[in-house]
Amino acid sequence: MDWLVSEVDEDDFLEIKNTSLGKLVRDQILSQILSGVFAPGQAIRESELVDQLKVSRVPVREALRELESSGLVVSRKHSGVYVRELSESEERDLYYFRAVLDSHAGRMAAQLTTEKRHQLVKSLEESTVAMDIAIKEKDPQAYYRENLLFHWHFIQYLENKEIAKVYRELIQKLHLSRLKNLSSVGYRERSNAEHKQIVESLSDANIKKQDKCCSVLLDHHVRSAYDRLRSIE
């Protein structure tokens, strides 16, 4: 899930030398949040980060401020900094916004050249196979990683840096809810069945069939994931 933390292409590589220590610390803390080291509602102790990362308090504070501005942590007066817990309305809004982005990505995928569409389908099929293996091995973390990659393939083929940036930030906020959403084997099986329908909609035989439109299926898939989340809570 490295793409969730940062993405550096050739154009951005020269800017690395100008990256502040605070941003590097931010990425390290973000990685720990995304991996579950820091859970929603858990306190993030500044002193512990200083000892762990072998840095001063200044870059740690800069990192926490950036994470707070992006909505991943919250600072409570006289109490400290905590990983944010999303409210029900925030989860709903984020899922519905993600449905819009995924639907757009599916619509554009259907308009790719035949060669690029086949390349995308190949990558998607590899992801569904990997998710089937994760289901069989009862490994929700592996399933979750591959599930994220499945949807990221669509975003990559958009070749739109602004959408990619927004999508990455959106998934960062949603990741703990989505992991909970996929905790059941039955939910993982249903989720991957929907993935396979999405891939099938991009096949040469179905690409022009409106009843199997990739955009519609992706929108339904994300909204169904939100409905499953609500049924768990």
Q: DSSP of 141-177, one letter per residue?
A: HHHHHHHHHHHHHHHHHHT-HHHHHHHHHHHHHHHHH
Q: Is residue 120 located within the same domain as residue 223?
A: yes
CB 144 within 8 A of CB 182: yes
Question: Which of residues 50, 83, 116 is at a domain's end?
Answer: 83
| R_g (Cα) of the chain, nearest Å | 19
Q: What CATH number has the domain bearing residue 42?
A: 1.10.10.10
How high is the mean pLDDT in each 10-residue block of the chain (233 residues)? Answer: 57 52 89 83 93 92 91 89 89 95 96 95 97 94 90 96 94 73 80 96 81 88 89 68
Question: Which of residues 59, 83, 107 is at a domain's end?
Answer: 83
CB 30 within 8 A of CB 72: yes
Q: Is residue 50 located within the same domain as residue 119?
A: no
Q: What is the pLDDT of residue 192?
A: 96
Question: Which of residues 60, 83, 106 is at a domain's end?
Answer: 83
Q: Distance between CA 187 and CA 190 in Å, rounded?
A: 5
Domain count for the chain, please give it. Answer: 2
Give the residue numbers spanning the domain of 25: 2-83
Q: Would you put residue 54 in left (φ > 0), alpha (ψ -120 to 50) or beta?
A: left
Q: Distance between CA 50 and CA 23 in Å, rounded?
A: 14
Determine phi and psi for 83, rounding to 5 degrees. -65, 135
Q: Is residue 66 located within the same domain as residue 110?
A: no
209-233 pLDDT, tens digit per residue, is: 665 699 999 999 999 989 888 876 5
> Which of 64, 63, 96, 105 is CA-nearest to residue 215?
105
pTM metric for this prediction: 0.80
